[in-house]
Amino acid sequence: MNVCFVAVTSEYTFHKVKTQFTVKRTVKKTPPQRITACLVNAAFFGALGSSYLYGYSLSVVNAPSLFIKTFYNKTWQERYGEPIRADMVTTLWSITVSIFAIGGLLGALCVTLLMKVLGRKGTLLLNNSFAMISALLLALGEKAGSFEMLIIGRFIMGVDSGISLSALPMYLGEIAPRQVRGFIGQFNSILICLGVFTGQVLGLPELLGQEARWNFLFAFQALPALLQLCVLPFLPESPRFLLMERRDEAGAEKAFRDFLGKEDVSKELEEVHAESRAQNTMRMASITELLLNPAVRWQVVTVVVTMACYQLCGLNAIWYYTNGILRDSGFAENVIPYVVLSTGAVETLAAIVSGLVIERVGRRPLLLFGFTAMAFFFGLLTVFLNFQVSYLWMPYLSFICILGVIASFCSGPGGIPFVLTGELFEQSYRPAAFMIAGVVNWLSNFAVGLVFPFMQEALQTNAFLVFMVVCVLGAVYLHFILPETKNRTFLDISQSFAKINKVPLPDKEMENVLAVKPRSKQVEANGKVLHFEVESSF
């Protein structure tokens, strides 16, 4: 929180009237931002029923894949009186897995309309219905003898994830004070990793990874959704949404008080009003308006690049190779599932560490480190894979590189793109920006799943060099284009792109003065000297 006692000298002429006033700025040391229980609960339970389920859905299909294919064969034979062809099993399984991304794309396309009508919190609450419907279809498909129920259930879960990965980061970015916005935003990434790890643990043979229990793996999806439904209704809506889009100042004031844990939130309200005045409109921008507006051109490009690199950097390919490398390392087949747990544990630990240091280190250094380190480990992995037949100990080095790639990804690229999407845009552009980010995310996800098997067949172990190039290009772009957004207001971040966007830069000194509602302790009778203070968490 900055405390400024302002007193500036300047001259203005308006309708032949000359006014002189002086503003003198002194800044007190910023005290640490208090993190309230309300803020942490909103972040945790918001992510539990959203990003956690996305992560869980990514890993949960791995353990029961053989049992599901057996179920497909049994159902086909009961219906048509003959065994299913091998190519048909592969096709049905491919559809079951890949339709998740198609559902995610549909969810991303719908999210802007849902948030406009229902708000951020309302969209998250409605989204739980998709998770529970999906859980029922996936859990009961075997009993009903219908593999179509499994495919539809995966599609609906994809819709849920597409909505979650846009609505949740926007909610977290709008409820968090700027001093802890990165930390709160990383709940999204941490819960994704925790969901992946949970899917790996529950898929162990001793738990639910058995032929008689695999349907319970999918039934588990309903539990996080139910927990969110029980808690989130009692937590506040985004105060920025309430004030700027619903004109509900009383509701916004109460939400600010709950999230910040203090009674006087007049300065936070005034900062949101200042952003509203700077935008000159309260109407939400459309996708077309966002894409055609030169004032946000490079923000859009930056979001597209970071989201594309998030999916195209090769982490999905790493999961494809892990089991094979462990087999080549001499691990017994029944031991491999337990060793694979180390990848989920490293992923979760790296995401937690990133969340703890993001407000100290910043977004930009973590992204640059993450992509650069991934490129380094991909290069080493390519070398080790090419020589692993020649040396018995080489596969162990390959597995260490896999852990390095995973840790590097989760240290920055795994979560910060979602934080950045919320930070780079002001309120009126934010919903459209998240729709664009979601579409790029899910199209890239689908492209990796479609292209990688062919790329791997053509390039073999050298396929990782493609991902190394993607990581290097992403790091180079971010180094030259992305400014640091740590502890900066949304308005200030938007203005930092003014030069590269080639649009006029507002006079920041006067903007700070004119955007603040004076709370004068000393005002001369002739109005020449103003003495007021500015203090805001947002």
pLDDT in tens, 425-460: 887 888 889 999 999 999 988 888 777 777 877 887
Quote the pLDDT of residue 27.
Answer: 42
Helix or strand (DSSP H, E) at 116: helix 86-144
Identify which of 85-89, 122-126, 464-468 has the greatest average pLDDT. 122-126
Give me the mean pLDDT over the 386-408 stretch.
85
- Share above pLDDT 90 across residues of the chain, in percent, rounded to a whole number: 40
Residue 146 token pair: 């219908």
Our separate counts of H helices and E strands in the chain read 24, 4
Q: Which of 431, 479, 337 is nearest to 120 (CA)?
A: 431
Residue with tokens 């003495």: 531
Does residue 510 register a pLDDT over 60? no
More confident site: 525 or 447: 447
Task: Give the number of residues written for the chain.
Answer: 538
Quote the pLDDT of residue 392.
Answer: 76
Q: Are the C-beta atoms of 424 and 303 separated by less than 8 Å?
A: yes
In terms of Cβ atoms closer than 10 Å to its own Cβ (0-12, 13-18, 19+), residue 80 is exposed
Give me the mean pLDDT over the 484-512 stretch.
73
Quote the pLDDT of residue 286.
Answer: 82
The DSSP call for residue 281 is -
What's the pLDDT tens digit per position in 283-330?
678 888 889 988 889 999 999 999 999 989 888 777 766 776 677 666
Give me the mean pLDDT over the 37-44 stretch.
94
Q: Which residues touch 456 (CB under 8 Å, ≥6 apart)?
A: 317, 320, 463
Quote the pLDDT of residue 417.
Answer: 92
Q: Which of 525, 514, 313 is nearest to 405 (CA)?
A: 313
Task: Let me know the angle formed at the C-alpha of 394 by 313 and 334, rounded to the nearest 5 degrees.
Answer: 85
Cα separation of 408 and 373, whole Å?
Answer: 6
Q: Are the C-beta atoms of 219 and 135 separated by less than 8 Å?
A: yes
Dihedral class, residue 111 (left if φ above 0, else alpha if ψ from -120 to 50, else beta)? alpha
Cα separation of 345 and 13, whole Å?
Answer: 64
Rounding to the nearest 10 degrees, give the CA dihedral for residues 407, 202, 221, 148. Answer: 110
Quote the pLDDT of residue 455.
Answer: 80
Cα separation of 311 and 191, whole Å?
Answer: 18
> Among the residues of 285-362, which ranges form H helices?
287-292, 297-312, 315-328, 336-361
Map out the domains of the chain with their CATH numbers. Answer: 34-235 (1.20.1250.20), 289-505 (1.20.1250.20)
List, in sequence order, every residue forming a beta bridge with 22; answer none if it has no partner: 529
More confident site: 498 or 227: 227
Quote the pLDDT of residue 93.
Answer: 83
Quote the pLDDT of residue 4.
Answer: 41
Q: Are the C-beta atoms of 467 and 378 separated by less than 8 Å?
A: yes
Q: Are the C-beta atoms of 535 and 486 separated by less than 8 Å?
A: no
Cα separation of 83 and 25, whole Å?
Answer: 81
Taking only Cα atoms into account, the Rg of the chain, rounded to an integer number of angstroms, comes to 26
Residue 479 token pair: 């180094």
Quote the pLDDT of residue 140.
Answer: 93
Cα separation of 127 and 170, whole Å?
Answer: 15
Cα separation of 387 and 397, whole Å?
Answer: 11
What's the pLDDT tens digit per position in 125-184?
999 999 999 999 999 998 888 889 999 999 999 999 999 999 999 999 999 888 888 899
Q: Are the C-beta atoms of 164 and 54 separated by less than 8 Å?
A: yes
Q: Which of 59, 43, 86, 46 is nearest to 337 (CA)?
A: 59
Quote the pLDDT of residue 3.
Answer: 39
What does the DSSP assignment read for 53-104? HHHHHHHHTTTTHHHHHHHHHHHHHHHHSSPPPHHHHHHHHHHHHHHHHHHH
Quote the pLDDT of residue 122.
Answer: 94
In terms of Cβ atoms closer than 10 Å to its own Cβ (0-12, 13-18, 19+), residue 16 is exposed
Helix or strand (DSSP H, E) at 43: helix 37-48
Task: Let me know the angle formed at the C-alpha of 176 by 293 and 114, rounded to the nearest 5 degrees.
Answer: 55
Arithmetic mean of pLDDT over the chain: 82
In terms of Cβ atoms closer than 10 Å to its own Cβ (0-12, 13-18, 19+), residue 213 is middle
Q: Give this prediction's pTM.
A: 0.83
Sign of dihedral through CA atoms 210, 216, 221, 223? Answer: negative
Does residue 487 register a pLDDT over 90? no
Q: Which of 1, 38, 86, 474 is nearest to 235 (CA)?
A: 38
Quote the pLDDT of residue 511.
Answer: 46
Residue with tokens 């001093």: 179
Give me the mean pLDDT over the 77-93 stretch.
84
CB atoms within 10 A of CB 113: 12
Return the beta strands (E) in 136-250 as ranges.
none
Q: Calculate the CA 38 to chain-centre distance.
A: 21
